[in-house]
Structure 1
């Protein structure tokens, strides 16, 4: 089995280190703007909690029958920090092994983890935007309120945005380091 160059091993280590800020920075954000909220309402999603204008968003969403947003809605908060810890540990093992397969395995693991997170967020957004209280004060026939997974979407008089926050950008930088390592590995053949 071919060993990796020192450069590629260091790129694996840098990628591992980029996972650590996920414990201390928000990973995702959802923002809403409307004429009555020109400054916007913002919700930050962290590895184990929510922050921002969650109460105000709940107050607005109540009128159209959306569920109350709370930590209890996200069972992922109870185990995601442990999953991230396991991925960090595996990344250190892959760095120490320093073989070509360890580089590709770590990149594959992070890619699958990212896809799983996005799929889970889509599922949550779909349920949140479609499972409305039939007794809601405001009903618009045929209207669903699923927030966008990534990007902007008009929902009645609100412009909604959903996208990566600081922690996710750092994580993507780590994946970029692994992709650079793969490129250098191919180039070195």
Structure 2
């Protein structure tokens, strides 16, 4: 099961990219902003795509009563996610090493993938919940109070994935480099599982834990 175990060791290491590259990207474009404004969402904070983008976005949002974009110390996620990712990298690579030594079976590879997938879904749910609050919990004393055609207050939640129109802004929200590196790493662990199962099915492996 050597090939499968090596894949399992390498796969989680791709998650190290999350400490360098953004996980998600949100861009806002409008006629008055031919060069769109953007934010990159990292596991440890929110950063400008270009200098002053966050400052400009907060300035625009102030008029419609939206809160300023949070600083790292204002959200527990930005201190917790780096720790969780570090633990998962360690556990995944450890499982791969133990597989290489014949201490665990290939089923553990799938177990790591499932656990990482659950954490990913929970992270996306938390991210979406933050965006709902960010786009709907508006200051009642805002300078501009806009309403939908039916008279209900207008909300400004960015899309979790894809494109939407908010006032005269085109808002696009998509995975960024860190997310694709994480996805690649997770797919390598799935490949490790199937490689291990194929190896076991061939009858080469005599025993497993």
How high is the TM-score relative to the length of structure 2? 0.83
Pairwise mapping of residues 30-179 of structure 1 onto structure 2 (< 5 A)? Answer: 30-52=26-48, 53-71=53-71, 72-98=73-99, 99-141=105-147, 142=152, 143-179=154-190
SS in 2 for 1:63: helix
The one-character-per-residue Cα deviations of 1:98-155 (angstroms, maximum 9, x if unpaired) are 1222101111111111101110111001111110111112222232111000111111
Measured against aligned partners, the alpha-carbon deviations of 1:20-53 in whole angstroms (never above 9, x if no partner) come to 1111111111110011111100101112122111
Q: Say whether 1:17 aligns with 2:28.
A: no
CA–CA separation in structure 2 for the residues paired with 1:162 and 1:14: 29
2 CA distance for matches of 1:84 and 1:109? 12
Alignment length, in residue pairs? Answer: 185
Contact 2:44–2:82 under 8 Å retained in 1: yes
3-state DSSP of counterpart to 2:139? coil
Measured after TM superposition, the shift of residue 186 of structure 1 is 4.7
> 1:64-105 CA distances to partner (integer Å, 9 max, x unpaired)?
111111214422111211111111111122112212221011
State the Cα distance separating 1:57 from its structure 2 match: 0.7
- Give unmatched runs, 5+ long, in structure 2: 100-104, 202-209
Partner of 2:64, secondary structure, is coil
Measured after TM superposition, the shift of residue 179 of structure 1 is 2.3
Cα root mean square deviation, aligned: 1.4
Structure 1 stretch 122-131 or stretch 73-82: which is displaced more?
73-82
Decide which moves more: 154-163 or 71-80: 71-80
Task: With the length of structure 1 as denominator, give the TM-score of the two structures.
Answer: 0.92
